[in-house]
Amino acid sequence: MGVAGMDATLELPSDLKGSEFQGLVMHITNCLRDRDDRAVRAALRWLQELTVCDGLIVCQLKFEAESRLHQVINVSYSARWVNEYLKQEFQRLDPVLLFASRGEGAYGWSDAFEAVTIPGVDRFIEAANDYGLNDGFAYSYVEPAHHEEERVTTVCSLAMSNRSLRWGAYYALHSLVPALHIAAKGLIVASPSPLTVREMEVLKWAAAGKTVWDIGMLLSLSESTVKFHLSNIYRKLDVTNRAQAVSRALQAGLI
């Protein structure tokens, strides 16, 4: 599942409730501000409730000569399975993690199972099935790095008996996982660039959950002009969608 064009990032998904959007912004902000285990786990518990998944776990790893785990944050997977996973060093065989080396984005477990065919992967899948882990969905975030060996990838993996994921839940994953990555790794976020007065007006209404059409009516602007301002806001704040922009602005005290 991919982002369907620029408009998909400028407008909120129709199935994302206002309260869900506000919760998303709150958890992004808390992760970036506090950068501690409590903020990360609170965000992940909220994400599990939003996605209605059976289990959720986050792994950070480096793809070097072989996959090396940086850390694991288990929210609701079986503790016995996680212990077995670490003991057997299954990150070397796990298709869901290995598939993340191909780049950032969302994918189904079945896509990873079909694409990764290294020796031993069948043994891993059989072991996972014994714990009821046979289908799900994942989102990977790959941090920018000057050298490949320094690059850390974060994978948020959701066990789901029904792999369908509503657009609002995908939007939440796309928005939240980069903040989870930063909080878990302790990175420093650069200060955002100043916004114009008009951009601030647009951003304040965007933070209130107004649609592009609503903002245009409130500010006497065309929808294309509102989208133009939103695009400039995203560029200046170095973000990719509305939830991230609102969170970054809150963190910087802009709104």
Q: Is 232 exposed, middle or buried (0-12, 13-18, 19+ CB in 10 A)?
A: middle
- DSSP states of 76-118: SS-HHHHHHHHHTTGGGT-HHHHHGGG-SEEEEHHHHHHH---
Tell me the whole-structure pTM to 2 decimals: 0.78
Read off the tokens for 76.
Answer: 């609701």
Q: Please give the DSSP secondary-structure letter assigned to residue 54.
A: S
Torsion of CA 26, 61, 111, 73, to 10 degrees: -50
Phi-psi region of 147 (alpha: psi -120 to 50; beta: other; left: phi over 0): beta
Residues 177 and 201 in one domain: no
How confident is the model over 112-129, as pLDDT tens digits? 999 998 999 999 999 999
Position 231 in a domain: yes
Position 167 in a domain: yes
pLDDT of residue 43: 96
* Domain edge (last residue) among 185, 217, 240: 185
Position 191 in a domain: no
* Dist CA 31 CA 26 (whole Å): 9
* Domain edge (last residue) among 138, 153, 185: 185
Position 131 in a domain: yes
Residues 217 and 135 in one domain: no
* Dist CA 44 CA 187 (whole Å): 19
pLDDT of residue 129: 93
**Do residues 13 and 50 lie in contact, with contact meaning Cβ atoms separated by under 8 Å?**
no
CA 178 to chain centre: 5
Residues 204 and 127 in one domain: no
The phi and psi torsions of 91 (rounded to 5 degrees) equal: -60, -20
* Dist CA 234 CA 246 (whole Å): 10
Residues 158 and 215 in one domain: no
Residues 87 and 130 in one domain: yes
* Domain edge (last residue) among 140, 156, 185: 185
Position 2 in a domain: no
Position 192 in a domain: no
Residues 161 and 131 in one domain: yes
Domain span at 227: 197-251
What is the tally of structural domains in the chain? 2
Residues 147 and 178 in one domain: yes
pLDDT of residue 1: 39
Q: What is the CATH number of the domain that holds 78?
A: 3.30.450.80
* Dist CA 232 CA 235 (whole Å): 5
Residues 148 and 76 in one domain: yes
Q: Please give the DSSP secondary-structure letter assigned to residue 252.
A: T
Residues 117 and 235 in one domain: no
Quote the Cα angle for 70-37-104, to 5°: 50
Residues 36 and 84 in one domain: yes
- What is the SS3 assignment for 142? strand
Read off the tokens for 242.
Answer: 């509305």
Q: What is the CATH number of the domain that holds 242?
A: 1.10.10.10
Q: Please give the DSSP secondary-structure letter assigned to residue 148.
A: G
pLDDT of residue 6: 37
Residue segments in the chain with a per-residue pLDDT below the cut of 50:
1-7, 188-190
Position 24 in a domain: yes
Which residue shows structure tokens 């503790």?
Answer: 79
pLDDT of residue 189: 46
How confident is the model over 150-206, as pLDDT tens digits? 678 999 999 998 767 889 999 999 999 999 998 887 654 445 557 888 998 999 999
**Do residues 59 and 91 lie in contact, with contact meaning Cβ atoms separated by under 8 Å?**
yes
- The letter for the amino acid at 135 is D
Residues 83 and 176 in one domain: yes
Residues 14 and 106 in one domain: yes
CA 232 to chain centre: 22
Position 239 in a domain: yes
